[in-house]
Structure 1
Amino acid sequence: MAVADLLVVINYVILTRIRDFYFPNNFLFMTPFCSLQSALNHASTDISVWLTVAFTFDRFVAICCHKLKTRYCTERTAATVIGTICPIFCFKNIPWYFAYEGTITTGLIQWGCNRKLEYYTVAAWIAFNWIHRWLTPLIPIFLIFLFNAFTVGHILAASKTSRRLRAGRNDRDQRDPEMHSRRKSVILLFAVSSYFIILWVSYVVYFVLLRITSHYYSTCFNDPMYITDQTSHILLLLSCCTNTCIYVMTQSKFRKQLTNRVKYLPTIIFKCLK
């Protein structure tokens, strides 16, 4: 998930947003390159979102399904899930490359990327657009809500049972390691999923307004739809950037591995120079 979020930052923030404002008129503005960049932006965002869903389901299984936990919550299963999600959403976003046309032509080279008129009128493109929005983020939001609801219900039931047992043994003051571990897992789970849902809501609202009003082109920077569009994308990108920060703050194993990698980097550089 951290790697997927980092790819969103590289593709969507650095190579697209920062490039547009601070590095104009470079080769990345050629139509083939910016079309490819759009496909990479959507692919990295989809992978980040669906790995969040997979993480939520993994925590649901670990907390609520003890029989399935031993078979599902393994490194092999995690590798299989990641290896399935990444190729599927890379393939799914290939059509974005063909959704754009050049703005101007210099010699034989096309520059800029504008969405083709067919993108808004042809039934196949409209269907693709709806499928894209359902897959990211409507279905993920529903699944995260569903898994979290089951997890919360299980946690509350387990807490009541644990309190009854401890009260019967008169050891109310003793610490329950299982409940403590479960509580830490729930805090991480809700931190990731809550940020995801809150920061994606504006994007869903913008998409609904866009389809209701058919306001596909903005006339100026003060256009309310343009402001809504830009705000929703800022929050979308922020959603894909928070997971790594949450892991650093909450997960000791993640912090330890990150520290080891940082310490190991100078060693590699020294060996190469030597």
Structure 2
Amino acid sequence: MIQSMTGYGKAVLQLPTKKISIELKSLNSKSLDVNARMPSMYRAKELGIRKQVAKNLMRGKVDFSLFVEITGEDTSSSINKTVVNEYIKQLKDVVDGDTTELLKMAIRLPDAVTTERNDIDEEEWSIIANGIDEAISKIVAYRKDEGAILKQDFVNRISTLSTLLDAVITMDPDRIDGVRARLNKGVADLKEKVDENRFEQELVYYIEKFDITEEKVRLDNHLNYFTQALNSEDSNGKKLGFISQEIGREINTIGSKSNYAPMQKLVVQMKDELEKIKEQLLNVL
């Protein structure tokens, strides 16, 4: 089953003294590009998080965010009272002012507030890791839902291409008859006597150059192969992209060989459908 590279997943954890929100957003990209944002105290776990994300999401531009909101008395920052009092004392020697105003100034000065860097509590991190798994599960589910929509679009467009190919196959005999008629008329307009056998040989050679039998067969095979890949268990947007390139090659060859306006109109429609498929394939994992 194909997956989209566009997705969103979120998990919210309520711990005794803090609320933790984990978010994952992804967009299409040729490879995996993970941008991680988290408080500095959790940076030691970043490599593990990246591996965890890469294992499950594989491709896409992924934004990982971990937000912490303190809801209890637990805090890693504290006021350095000795330093603040010394700042206030020095400020009083410089300016006359209310103690509250001086405190506002002192608290902004260097080393007035100290931040303790606590070690990560492994029990707490175990809960957070489960939250990351939950967010990943949600973004994968989102990608699968988007993939189902993309798949239906591909099915419809491949069906349209098959219908247009059938029209090309039906039209082909008339095209050959038209080419033959134009050549006969051209020779007749010359009002010159020609060797009928030689003319017939040249006619056969000329018509063979415009034969599209192989292209029709290959195009039909490529369309069937695309459908098979679409229904496979894994999601491989790159493989589908390669098949679409082969489909385009056969359509272009048919167009260049057709030499027949009604058939060229069908080829233009086929190219339009294929271009829409290629645009959507950029979003497939």
Scaled by the length of structure 2, what TM-score is found? 0.30
Higher relative contact order (CA 8 A, sep 6+): 2
Structure 1 length-normalised TM: 0.31
Structure having the larger proportion of residues in strand? 2
